[in-house]
Amino acid sequence: MLDNKGFDLWANGYDKSVNLSDEENTYPFAGYKEVLNKIYGIVHEKSNGTILDIGFGTGVLTQKLYNDGYIIYGIDFSEKMIEIARSKMPKAVLLQQDFSKGLPDIILDKKFDFIICTYAIHHLSNHEKLSFINLLKNLLTQNGKVLIGDIAFETRDEMLSCQYSFRDDWDDDEVYIVFDELRKSFEHRNIEFQKISFCAGIITVNN
Ligand SMILES: C[S@@+](CC[C@H](N)C(=O)[O-])C[C@H]1O[C@@H](n2cnc3c(N)ncnc32)[C@H](O)[C@@H]1O
């Protein structure tokens, strides 16, 4: 699993490597742009609001929302990623924090219309994901949404088939969402899955 220093080293080449994997339609980033575009569209169903981005990285998605006038808060543990994102979004509140260790009080004291988390939650175990999603849900405004876009599968069979096809590149340290298993253990029933590619999907949790 990459730690914050690993992400520091990846930061400058991040956008290029992700786009290459997406364009070649390979694991792990096949569907990346579509995931981000779909989430962008969902956020735009509300013309303004406050957004929290968990693991914002280089700010590919949040920068667009920032430019559209949304108020942006974000959490990331990589200094280098924060530096890149801050140069694009000088007025956003971008905080350095390891989200596996919880969220800062400044975030816990607020409510968000949308909480987005793209390609970051697979760094948590399944158990940690459940508590984290429940924590995020409590930070939503009425009718707010948590939008998780990531390497994700509807069923374990789909994941195993992808794992077999990409066995030389498969990252055993990452824990991908298997939606029908997540849904069973999730205490709220208002959770949905939209498949985007053979290895990507969007999980929406409605308040
Ligand atoms: C693969 S990148 C995704 C970036 C961006 N959301 C995107 O869709 O392009 C994962 C990001 O999550 C951050 N990250 C990973 N684990 C984290 C953790 N435990 N706490 C805070 N940030 C984390 C990394 O620093 C990195 O910026």
Non-local (6+) Cβ contacts of 122 within 8 A are 150, 151, 174, 175, 176, 177
pLDDT band at 187 (very low <50, low <70, confident <90, very high): confident
Candidate from 1, 2, 4 with most ligand 1 atoms within 8 A of CB, to mutate? 4
Share of the chain above pLDDT 90, in %: 91
Which structural domains are found in the chain, ordered by start? 43-206 (3.40.50.150)
First to last CA, the chain: 31
pLDDT in tens, 139-179: 999 999 999 999 999 999 999 999 999 999 999 999 999 99
Helices (H), the chain: 4-10, 14-23, 32-43, 60-67, 79-88, 105-108, 126-137, 156-165, 179-185
**Range scoring the smallest mean pLDDT among 4-13, 84-93, 114-123, 128-137:** 4-13
Report how far residue 148's alpha carbon sits from residue 36's, in angstroms, rounded to the nearest whole number.
10
Tokens of 193: 């899955």
pLDDT computed for residue 188 by the predictor: 67
**Alpha carbon of 54 to ligand 1 centroid (Å):** 7
Q: Over the Cα atoms of the chain, what is R_g?
A: 16
pLDDT band at 1 (very low <50, low <70, confident <90, very high): confident
Cis peptide before 104 (omega within 30 of 0): no
Residues with CB under 6 A from ligand 1: 7, 55-57, 60, 75-78, 81, 98-100, 118-120, 123
Share of the chain above pLDDT 70, in %: 100
Among residues 71, 63, 25, 22, which one has the least CA distance to residue 46?
A: 71
pLDDT in tens, 60-107: 999 999 999 999 999 999 999 999 999 999 999 999 999 999 999 999
